[in-house]
Amino acid sequence: MGTGSKSSHQSYAVGPTALAESPSAPVELAGVQAGEEIAGGAASGGGTAGPGVQEPLPDKADSPQDTDAALEALLQEPGSVEELGVPGPMSAEEEPPTQVAPVDEAEPLVQEQSEEGVSAAGEASAVPAADDEAKADGDETDPPLTPVPTAPPVGEPTGTPILVGGDDFIHSEATLIAYDSPDGPREVLLTHVSEEAEEKLLDALSIPGTHMEDVEVEEEVKERLDLDKQKKLGELTKTAVTSVQHKLKGHLPMSEASAAKHQAAVDAVSAVLNDPGVSDDEKAMAQHYMDQLDVVKDKIANGGEPMSWMQPYEVTATKMVTKQVAVPNGEPEPGSLGATVREASRIKAEFDTETGQSSWDGVARSHANGTEYEIDMGDGWKAVYRPYKENDPSSTEYSLRGQLEVHAPVGAGHGKDLVERLEQLHLVNKPMTAAEGEWTYLSNNIQAQGLGKAAGMKAAMDTAQGLEDLQVQEIVHQRMDSLMGLDSDDLQIQMKRIQLEAAQKVLPMKVEVVRDAVAKASGFSGGAALAASPGYEPTPATSGRWLTWSRFDVTGKQEEVKQAFSGRSLTHSIGSGDLAGLLSTGVLASTEKRTTMGIGSGVGMSEEDDKMTGGANSVFLRVKPTSSDLDGGVLVWDDPSVLMRRSDYYGYNGDHYGAINPNHHNYSANAITRDPMKIATFYSDSNEVMFRGGLDLLGAEAPSRIVCESAGERKKILASFSARGITELGGKPVEDVLCVTDN
């Protein structure tokens, strides 16, 4: 909601830094052009598998012979390989066919590998160690974009940001954090699983004795009356309350616009109150809103302290609803991880304002509104996951859906193991390489620029998925001797690993196909032209101890964006917060980030509402006319293009509590935008611009002005900067950045 709602605490000064140079463009893929459909329609997820898409293996087989038949069927997809123009499975006697590329000779889709066989008992031989696989795949020449520390720094509140390959995690981001505790470091990996990857994770789990199914049950629910929703009484009243509330909080004079919003709400509510045909419940609802509007009327006339936030009128009704309930499930599947269902919770860490360190005893947790799984990974390792499926967006905290914690046994030195353990959850478990980074960069730009429905984009994505499916077939063919004879459980384990490996191997080709489609959707002649353009930056930057990706439609047109924001600034008011304390941390962190840092609740104005809307994963800024007449405790970016280059923001020209939850009444698909040119035109006093995770206050994202309450506060902050060796912010002397309110 309002921009006084986000602050954080941690001490360091770091600026965005390119983590790796842009990778060279992958070689052209013979026979595949961006935008071409795979013959037969390769599936990109669900639906009926067409040519080039593997049929699913059976969940269970009665004998090794059954799994052998499934493997043979997998390799006998007629025409799928040839239709893509890439070599199909080869027999041991065949020589690999030569591929022809438009310019240079293309690399074969996969390289031959040797695998150890199977024991006489039919057990799978040991899979090569991760380091051995990396060497075999040439990863030594393609180092990770973010090295994984063996031991994250103990007590560092924001932890160490890393990037994990593939699409399993939102923006491919994860954080390794080591909380201090009396027993030793508590090392945890924190990340956000993408909704598309959830099925893979759930497939790794088995809840002892039960599993969850959708069942229709009768339940009491709270809901708004139909007449309320039809006449939009709640929305009109809230608009009036919000408009006047903004004036009260900012000690601003009431405007004609606020009065007009109030009158519009009064007219609509009065019409219902004066209608003799409405029911008693409907009259009570209308009176509820009129009581709110009477308070607004008094505030317009007399001013005063801010109002309590308006609650919509709701009644209790008995309805049939669909719920997930536990039903008998027999014994856990072999090889699966035992999991229990419990009420959702969060790590209850503590932040020491004196030392700037975070601590956690490994046990304490705070309550959250939702459901989570506690997962036993063996040997003292565990995970906690909050599933999308079990957390109804209409009644649980939207910001926690998909959150994953992986916990190491107490002690230091588990950093790399925390990443590798993701494989137990059927998730990608290798650090991101430059090629994978470009895939994430393109994916983020597709979302940020709204290119998903552009001509040729779906075909390119289907082609990319088809390449991955073919890679799975190729690896299965190469390893047929070692896979034949495995029972169903061992085969399923090996197939999961093969799919992860295939995704990594084929990625450079997928990048090329999608890059070309993105280029053409953006007005470039092709992928090569896009990759060579000045704004193309397929590597992330560190920002406030987490990572950010840019968008080439801004970095390539920085001056145009600056011009669009001419005379306008982005601001964040900390309200009654401690400006000096905030700047001592160096970051402006979202509600969810503050929780993992150990900063208690109550810092933001609408934290609980933001968790329901999904806004709790972002910090809130506001577009305002550039002015030197500002209250104290305000951060100002007079050149918003510094932040608009990021790809993770969105905005509303009004107060929507940062809603990204489509099931929440504050969400509006028509009003939400990611277009920086539209954001530059925001005029509502309560507009909001949300940045995921947070902002770096001391590096390249530093504000151009920091407005202090008093000369004494400015002096205190300058002394703190001096003691820490901070002399500049955003290229300006700190003395020029820090100013004092004129009020």
CA distance 422 to 419: 6
pLDDT of 20 strictly over 50: no
What's the confidence (pLDDT) of residue 31?
35
- Reported as half-sphere exposure (CB side, CA atoms, 13 A), residue 435 has a value of 19
Residue 701 neighbours by CB distance under 10 Å: 25
What's the confidence (pLDDT) of residue 133?
39
Residue 341 neighbours by CB distance under 10 Å: 16
Place of tokens 């009491």: 220
Q: Which residue has the higher pLDDT, 89 or 615?
A: 615
CA distance 590 to 607: 9
Residue 655 neighbours by CB distance under 10 Å: 26
What's the confidence (pLDDT) of residue 377?
95
What's the confidence (pLDDT) of residue 155?
94
Crossing angle of helices 256-273/280-302, nearest 10°? 160
Give the percent of the chain with pLDDT over 90: 56
Crossing angle of helices 488-505/64-74, nearest 10°? 30
> Mapped to the 3 state alphabet, what secondary structure does 206-245 carry?
ECCCEEEEEEEEEEEEEECCHHHHHHCHHHHHHHHHHHHH
How does residue 324 score in pLDDT terms, banded at 50, 70 and 90?
low
316 burial class (0-12, 13-18, 19+ CB within 10 angstroms)?
exposed
Residue 36, phi-psi category: left (phi > 0), alpha (psi -120 to 50), beta (remainder)? beta
How does residue 136 score in pLDDT terms, banded at 50, 70 and 90?
very low
CA distance 479 to 76: 15
Spell out the domain ranges in the chain.
64-140+434-442+451-532, 160-208+332-425, 225-313, 557-740
Q: If you count DSSP H runs as helices and E runs as strands, how many of each does the chain have, helices first? A: 24, 25
Kindly state the DSSP code that residue 423 receives in the 8-state scheme: G
CA distance 653 to 195: 28
Q: For 151-195, how does the pLDDT look when each residue is reduced to its tens digit (9 = 90+)?
A: 999 999 989 999 998 889 999 999 999 999 999 999 999 999 999
Lowest mean pLDDT among 208-217, 433-442, 705-714: 208-217
pLDDT of 115 strictly over 50: no
What would the DSSP string read from start to end of 78-132? TTHHHHHTS-----TTSPPPPP--SSSPPPPSS-------B-TT-PBPPPPPHHH
Kindly state the DSSP code that residue 397 receives in the 8-state scheme: -
pLDDT of 43 strictly over 60: no
| Phi, psi for 81 (deg, rounded to 5) | -75, -45
Cβ partners under 8 Å of residue 729, min gap 6: 697, 698, 702, 703, 706, 737
Place of tokens 């799928």: 80
Q: Hey, which of 124-138, 619-633, 695-709 has the most confident mean pLDDT?
A: 695-709
Place of tokens 């959250």: 368
What's the confidence (pLDDT) of residue 15?
27
Closest CA to 509 of 110, 83, 32, 26: 26
Residue 413, phi-psi category: left (phi > 0), alpha (psi -120 to 50), beta (remainder)? left
Q: Which residue has the higher pLDDT, 80 or 734?
A: 734
Q: Which residue has the higher pLDDT, 108 or 227?
A: 227
CA distance 530 to 516: 8
